Structures are given as structure tokens and as C-alpha cells.
Amino acid sequence: MNNPHPIDTRPLITGDDPAAQTYYQDLVSEYGSPLLVLNGRVLKTRFKALQAALPEVDLYYAVKAHPDPEIIKIIDQLGGGFDIASAGEMSLLLDHKVSGRRTIHTHPIKKDQEIRDGLRFGATTFVIDNVHELKKLVPYRSRVGVLLRVSFRSASAIVDLSKKFGCAPDEVSELVQEANALGIHVKGLSFHVGSQCHDASKHVEAISRCHRLMQEINETANKPLSVLDIGGGFPADYELKGLDIEAFCMPIRAALAELPRDWHLIAEPGRYLVAPSVTSVTTVAGKSMRNGFRWYYLDDGIYGSYSGQLFDHATYPLQVFRDGERMPSIVAGPTCDSIDVVAENIGLPELEIGDLVIGHQMGAYTAATKTRFNSIPDARLVVVDHPQEPPVLVN
Ligand SMILES: Cc1ncc(COP(=O)(O)O)c(C=O)c1O
């Protein structure tokens, strides 16, 4: 058999699960297919779990992870803040009457219009990472406070967010002096050690380095730096191993305990909150046998809800409600493009047209990066409040 594809080793759940199957089937009967099912109960649980794991830290949801109005509504109800990076994200919040005061504008590079949009919206905290951006704020200096973003590269994070933004730690002091000379208030430092971090070691390193930098600056400053924004990076459980956020955050909490009590601590979580809160439900629209592989064509794919497999380097656990001999299979999306393949060389029991294929942990950087190639409509987002938690695979 011609078998050019490496074996897909993502978590795969097969076999009977009548409760789950009926739950998803009922949703499809009511709303059609494909769907993204947002479980508000899971989102609330995750928000509270992260709050409990980092009790001294104010959480600002990173809207970019999934800019859906229903998610904004729930975070708003929970009293969370919002990390925004564009006028589009501000207008989403405006629709929900979220005050700009509850936001931080974290895009380090902004056009003048974006700064003015932010100010009109009511945002007062802006992130910058170089002197050109600092100078852009001079006309608005009486109305803004700045967080300086520092770069801490992370080889182990799946998405290294310090590659594109952030000044080197040894540039911080000069930038603060420059800001002082320009009459701009630097409130503190921020960083993002990368998304989907394997462990908290980079957070810990960045916290203690920022601690030292802020202390050094504060020795001579008129207005001391007193805000530390520790970014995102809290992982999703793509392996379905039962992520323990308390354990993940323990070293971060210990590092934060070393900081002065009166500093204001902020985090910008995206992925950890929304990934487990959203489940993709797709239907097998067609099947064929080609070159020794069973091909299944779904009604959603890489140009839709599974776009994160391209842009976010994520692989989502799949579930089918069939059992039987597993055969090398290819799960493809609905467009005419051959890149539109969700899983290559995955061992699946035989599926039939009309079967459901469930994608778990699919709330972060999924719908956020979808396109409309072939003019195929988006998966419909439905909101539920259901005890169904994302599955965990016990070995
Ligand atoms: C500035 C900033 N803050 C927060 C986040 C959210 O990070 P995560 O989803 O890893 O929590 C991102 C992700 O791109 C980001 O760029």
C-alpha cells in the first residue's frame, strides 16, 4: 500500500457513548451541522479555576483567542477585564457596553488612528516596546499610562510570541528614561512568554527578571513602576490528560509572592479559558476509498473551524461514535483545496455518511482565524449551559 503520510497520533476517542452522541445529535437536529458548541458552564469553571490558581492576579481575557459576543458576555458577567488589540475588538466590547476602563490595549504597534480610537473608547493603558511607539503617545501623554513589553523567548512554547514583539530586558531602563523625558507615565512591564506553554518555567524566569528590572528603576524613580502584566501562555489540554491548572500555576504563584504587596498584577489569558469551552460538531458528508486510504469528507475543515491546525499549530482531539477495526483514514474538509485535510493517516473505524465527528478543545484560535473559501458558511455557534465537560483519557 502506498502510505506517504506519517501516522496521526492525536488523541482519538472511538466507540459507544450514548449520552454524548444523543447530546450532539440533538444539537444538530435543532441547529444543523456544522456547529461550534460553546458551553458557558465550562468557560465559567475555567475562569474561576484560573482566578483561584492566581488569586492576586486580575484576569484580562485576550479577545483575539475567540472574539465571540457570547464569550464577551460571559467574561463580562464574571467581572473579567479584556485584552484588546484592534478597533474591531473594541467595537465588540462596545456592543456589550463594556467600559474601556476595563481593558488594556496590548498591541505594541499602533497607528495614530488606533491610539485615538482606544482613547475614545476609554482605554488608558497601552503597551509599547520601542521608542517610535513611545513618541506616538506624546500628544496623548496626559491620558495614557504605558506598559513596556519585554521579550522573553521560549523554545518550548508552541507559539513563540516574543519573536515578533518586546524589547530586550537590557533596553528597559533606557526606554523608561526616554518616557520620563517625554512626560509619559510608565506604569510597569508586561511580557508574553508564548502560547501553549509546556510548563511555567518561562513565566517564573520572566517574573523574577521583571522584578529586578522594576526594583532597579524604582530606586531612582519619582513615579515607581507598580504594574506587572504576566501575559498568557496558560495551556489547553489538547492531549486530554486532565490539565491541573492549580499545579501549572503553583510556581508562578510562588514567584509572584516575592513581589511587593502593592504591585498590581495582571494576566491576559486566552487559550486556557476558551479552548475547552468550545466543541466542534461536524458531519461526514461523503466518503471514498483512494490509494489504500478511506477518505471522509466533513462539512467543516481547515478553512473553517479547524483553521487553527494551520495558523496555531494545534491538533485537536477527535471523537467518533463507532467501533471496529481501525483502518488508515484521511479526514478532509469540505472545500475543493487539497490542503483542506483535518487528519492524515489516522486509524479510524469505518464511518458512514451522516456520522458525527466531534472535535474537542476547539475554542481558541479556531473560529478566530477561519475564512470563507469556496463561500462555504461558517459553523454556527450555539451556546449551551451543560454539565458535559471535555473528555479526559485515562490510560
Ligand atoms: C498580547 C497577547 N496577550 C495575550 C494573548 C493570549 O495568549 P494565550 O492564548 O496563550 O493565553 C496573546 C496571544 O496571542 C497575545 O498576543
List, for residues 108-124, the tens digit of each pLDDT value. Answer: 999 999 999 999 999 99
The verdict on the CB of residue 62 being under 6 Å from ligand 1 is: yes
Instruction: With a cut of 80, say whether residue 162 has pLDDT above it.
Output: no
First to last CA, the chain: 31
Domains of the chain with bracketed CATH: 12-38+276-384 (2.40.37.10), 41-274 (3.20.20.10)
Looking at ligand 1, which atom is closest to the CA of residue 85?
1
Distance from C-alpha of 108 to C-alpha of 163, rounded to nearest angstrom: 13
Instruction: With a cut of 50, say whether residue 1 has pLDDT above it.
Output: no
Instruction: With a cut of 70, say whether residue 73 has pLDDT above it.
Output: yes
Instruction: Give the Å distance between the CA of 76 and the centre of ligand 1.
Output: 18
Residue of 162, 230, 159 whose CA lies nearest to 197: 159
The verdict on the CB of residue 72 being under 6 Å from ligand 1 is: no
The x, y and z cell numbers of residue 324, run together, are 471496529
Instruction: Give the Å distance between the CA of 26 and the centre of ligand 1.
Output: 34
What size, in residues, is the chain?
Answer: 395
What's the pLDDT band for 4 if we cut at 50, 70, 90?
low
The verdict on the CB of residue 305 being under 6 Å from ligand 1 is: no
Instruction: With a cut of 60, say whether residue 3 has pLDDT above it.
Output: no
Instruction: With a cut of 90, say whether residue 160 has pLDDT above it.
Output: no
Instruction: Give the Å distance between the CA of 192 and the centre of ligand 1.
Output: 7
**Cα–Cα distances in Å, from 100 out to 97, 125, 265?**
9, 9, 18
Average pLDDT over residues 79-86: 98
Tell me the backbone φ, ψ of residue 69, rounded to 5 degrees.
-55, -35
Give tens-digit pLDDT for 166-216. 999 999 999 999 999 999 999 999 999 999 999 999 999 999 999 999 999
Q: Give the contacts of 325 (CB within 8 A, at least 6 positions apart).
A: 349, 350
Residue type, 300: D
Percent of the chain with pLDDT over 70: 98
Distance from C-alpha of 351 to C-alpha of 330, rounded to nearest angstrom: 11
358: which strand partners?
Answer: 281, 319
The verdict on the CB of residue 268 being under 6 Å from ligand 1 is: yes
Task: List active site positions.
Answer: 336
Ligand 1 probe mutation, 195, 202, 243, most atoms within 8 A of CB: 195
Residue of 137, 109, 105, 225 whose CA lies nearest to 173: 225
The verdict on the CB of residue 351 being under 6 Å from ligand 1 is: no
Instruction: With a cut of 50, say whether residue 22 has pLDDT above it.
Output: yes
Residue type, 161: L
Residue of 358, 378, 389 whose CA lies nearest to 40: 389
Instruction: Give the Å distance between the CA of 269 and the centre of ligand 1.
Output: 6
Give tens-digit pLDDT for 209-253. 999 999 999 999 889 999 999 999 999 999 999 999 999 999 999
Looking at ligand 1, which atom is closest to the CA of residue 273?
11
Instruction: With a cut of 70, say whether residue 281 has pLDDT above it.
Output: yes
- Per the prediction, the chain carries an average pLDDT of 95
The verdict on the CB of residue 270 being under 6 Å from ligand 1 is: yes
What's the pLDDT band for 345 if we cut at 50, 70, 90?
very high
Lowest mean pLDDT among 179-183, 193-197, 318-322, 362-366: 193-197
